[in-house]
Structure 1
């Protein structure tokens, strides 16, 4: 069976790497990797981390592209690739513009689509934008839908997607995390090695489009105020490469309790999460990963598609009062670790996905 795995961003590489490894361990699969390079530098960093080399690289990244321009380039590039390679299955993950473009190109060529991380919803088409509508469309184009949880499966059934096409597997983010957390690691940057020796750390990440501008300014100001009230806590912020984000971060987080670092490699970041006490983020992947490390998460978004952990491992924090209150509560130790394990998986999602693909291949 010929399988083409398509990826364009850092999270896609992280979450598809376990599936690629699991497919390669089995006979009967011819796996090729196609990189769109929607996010060139961040994708390349992850490919090196997992020792993955794309067979095809569309190299689509251009400065200042709009989502429509990215989508157009992905569809056109993937159409030529699919015409030449004729895979039996195109495997995509998540909800980026790469995912939507690759799925549309495969659908127009009548090639089967497998969607890893299917069924996530906020039911707000603007949050996250454009990811919410991307994943809805991709789910309805897909032939194999790998839902991370029973909640995701129920959402797909409510949208009248056939029961026989939906499989609950857990999230492959947990597979990747388990692999990374077990690896012996020494931080590359001296600044991180010094921080790792600090007794109390908190981590901040912000990267979503809807966080940029005024919301990000409020987040930075709120966290700076919280840091002044809890000076014993040291904050680490791997700053998003967007120049406007960098400028605002260096202006508003100029404080002795904040250390701003460039974007981190995956292993560095996983081991930083292991060391910290809690995380403030707008990331979906961190909401999935943190429970496996026993870390609580404050989500600075209006809504989350990962509600399975809300109230136990994570909380939505409004701005600014809700965020500051949540940060101070965690800094003061007012959180009890849940007895339940990570709701997003046990580290064996990729194995389940491969078994499902093999069985599907026998029936088509």
Structure 2
């Protein structure tokens, strides 16, 4: 079996999750190629070496450019802050490597455009690029997309989506790179809002046409983690709320915040159509609520719960017997499976960088609307992409 060497760049929270996925995927699925945890890259050599040993990587380095020259590396997996995504991804694609890049794709539309252009050029001679919008690969949500594509909901009228966390609700929580515009690009809007923007467009197979938005920054300065007597200025949003129109006519509402006390990772989405509705809450990630108007008879109308754990449901053929639920990490394993399969088949993985750019343009439109008194702002759609 052909081997695919993986270089992981970044080894904090997201790097650890990706490591688990690369460790697991070959044991769960019968893959057309075998991914190998070849080398881990960190900012400091000692830290990278320690992380490589702990996470099961064969080698480590503090020089990401060096891994692009290695013949035993086929895939570059980018888990760094957003300000480095474009430089690493473009260089990797030009070096002939496949690329998996965490969301959001970049910090600006211009950077995302350069990445999408590089992916388009690279595709002509083999390398593929994938954007890491992992919630697409939660089985219940993949099943929801199937139901919508089959017309089970009819004509889509409404989408309402929210991603709620609370890890910044304490004003004394320390300053981090996620609160710096130059490193993160946007705050809650880019960090978690990007997920629900992508997820809604994925479920409907449609694009957001325009938005009307508000954003807020609740705590302007936070203590530095290494020097708590000093503070750093927060230059991104803490929360964003906006309405939107889809090209197909559906009306949508979105909320992203890191100040929803009591909510740790509450990604929620509901879609209403002329023939039915579906609703999902990540805090019950193995369940999909489904309502069919054709069954609205006899005084027993209401949503029914689908346990998305059957072998015939998306991604479940490799896992446990029905009723034995999956968790957060498993969607990343599914992502690794899909990327390896696409590379082996020579097909474009989804979502590609073009779809990541589409999300970046919505983020830019939301920020522009919020800066202009919530004025309705069309999403930019250059004809080249």
Q: Which has the higher helix share?
A: 1
Shorter-normalised TM-score: what interval?
0.3 to 0.5
TM-score by length of structure 2 reads 0.39
TM-score by length of structure 1 reads 0.41
Q: Which has the higher strand share?
A: 2
| RCO comparison, higher one (Cα < 8 Å, 6+) | 2
